[in-house]
Amino acid sequence: MSDVRESGADDTVAVQLLTPDGERVEHPDYAYAGTDDQIRDLYAQMVLVRRVDAEAIALQRQGELGLWPSLLGQEAAQIGSAYALRSQDYTFPTYREHGVTISRGIDPLRLLAMFRGTETGAWDMARYGAHLYSIIIGTQGVQSVGYGMGLERDGLVGSGDPERDAAVVCYFGDGATSQGDLNEGLIFAASYNAPVVFFCSNNQWAISEPSERQSRVPLYRRAAGFGFPGVRVDGNDVLAVHAVTTEALDRARSGNGPTFIEAFTYRMGAHTTSDDPTKYRLADELEHWRARDPLSRVRAYLERTGAADAAFFDEADAVADALAVQLRRNCLALPEPSLAETFDWVYADPSPELTEQLARHREYAASFEEAR
């Protein structure tokens, strides 16, 4: 029996395969099929992205980043779902999905550069199967469905070839479910049977607005109104998240349409580094969820079963610390772009008007040099 607290009038429990004490439990519909070696990989990756997150927060506090949206507490939701993806799948992340983008192979320095203001967040989306961060809440709802419909029309869904069939994961938070764009995406996905997994990380707070105030029913139950399956999973249980996402992706790739996953988790930090959560939530609530830490339960399992020893945990920490040191050094060395360079970020082939504007800018900038 899950101990995950419900949000809203519903007595349904979330899918859970690993308790907060690190015990494996059975579920009638879902099972984690991976080995202990793979569980160690999941743990090491969660340690890595938590360390990147902590370093980014420190850099922001020291004035080196303009802003940072922390993922603290949501590592299992991000890593569990990301590890269920295949290389041909495509993701639409929010601005908080650092664990997903890093797991897709994107250099975390690119993330820091974006929040430092030296880049626009550009990376090769086709190479990594990851769209750029969606800064505006919920816009990725319609974008992800459009991409999924394109996959279907290109014959990349339901062919039966596991190396060919693809799906899309649309990541969003509980606050986005109150946005029109997201709901339009849900309608289109249902109408056109789009191969999209809607992955809602319900961290229970849309900045300072509790999710209970946003929705009269648990969020996963909304899927029934759109006409496709919805499931709530313990978002702090990386094994359960992986199992549920794997099944939803298989369903989408095979041509059976969308699924709504509500990963019930908790944002242990601030909404962003511009936020102070002590103004709107109680310390007891934080302590309640600290005891359900997504990393601690995996470590407890690995230690209890003897699947990992102290050397493994030390190595995971050392790798994460080394990456943090490298990230800090490289972040501080990032060159500041000139205003003229920003013209290169607008179009692949600049328009005549833009070329003229650039020439005028250069002439204007040169006038300052002449005046010296």
CATH number at residue 176: 3.40.50.970
| Predicted confidence (pLDDT) at residue 208 exceeds the cutoff of 80 | yes
User: How crowded is the C-beta side of 72, counted as CA atoms within 13 Å?
Assistant: 18
Nearest to 128 by CA among 98, 102, 167: 102
- Is residue 6 included in any domain, yes or no? no
- Is residue 237 included in any domain, yes or no? yes
Instruction: Name the domain count of the chain.
Output: 2
The strand pairing partners of 231, in sequence order, are 261
Q: Is 135 helix (H, G, I), strand (E, B) or coil?
A: coil
**Looking at the structure, do residues 256 and 164 belong to the same domain, yes or no?**
yes
- Is residue 5 included in any domain, yes or no? no
**Looking at the structure, do residues 253 and 350 belong to the same domain, yes or no?**
no
- Is residue 222 included in any domain, yes or no? yes
The domain in which residue 347 lies consists of 342-371
- Is residue 123 included in any domain, yes or no? yes
**Looking at the structure, do residues 354 and 243 belong to the same domain, yes or no?**
no
**Looking at the structure, do residues 74 and 208 belong to the same domain, yes or no?**
yes
Nearest to 257 by CA among 342, 134, 149, 117: 149
**Looking at the structure, do residues 232 and 358 belong to the same domain, yes or no?**
no
Contacts of 239 (CB under 8 A, 6+ apart): 17, 18, 24, 32, 34, 39, 42, 80
Q: 9 falls in which pLDDT band (50, 70, 90)?
A: very low
**Looking at the structure, do residues 222 and 362 belong to the same domain, yes or no?**
no
pLDDT at 12: 58
- Is residue 25 included in any domain, yes or no? no
- Tell me the CA end-to-end span of the chain in Å, nearest whole number: 74
Q: What is the dihedral of CA 220, 222, 228, 233, to 10 degrees?
A: 0
Q: Pick the residue with more confidence: 134 or 120?
A: 134
**Looking at the structure, do residues 220 and 349 belong to the same domain, yes or no?**
no
- Is residue 68 included in any domain, yes or no? yes
**Looking at the structure, do residues 192 and 246 belong to the same domain, yes or no?**
yes
- Is residue 7 included in any domain, yes or no? no
Structure tokens that stand for 310 in this block: 């102290």
pLDDT at 159: 95
Integer Cα distance of 79 and 40 in angstroms: 12
The strand pairing partners of 210, in sequence order, are 205
Q: What is the tens place of the pLDDT at every residue in 85-126?
A: 999 999 999 999 999 999 999 999 999 999 999 988 889 999
| Mean pLDDT of all residues belonging to the chain | 94
Using the structure block, give the residue that is written with the tokens 């004490």: 21
pTM of the model: 0.93
Integer Cα distance of 86 and 316 in angstroms: 24
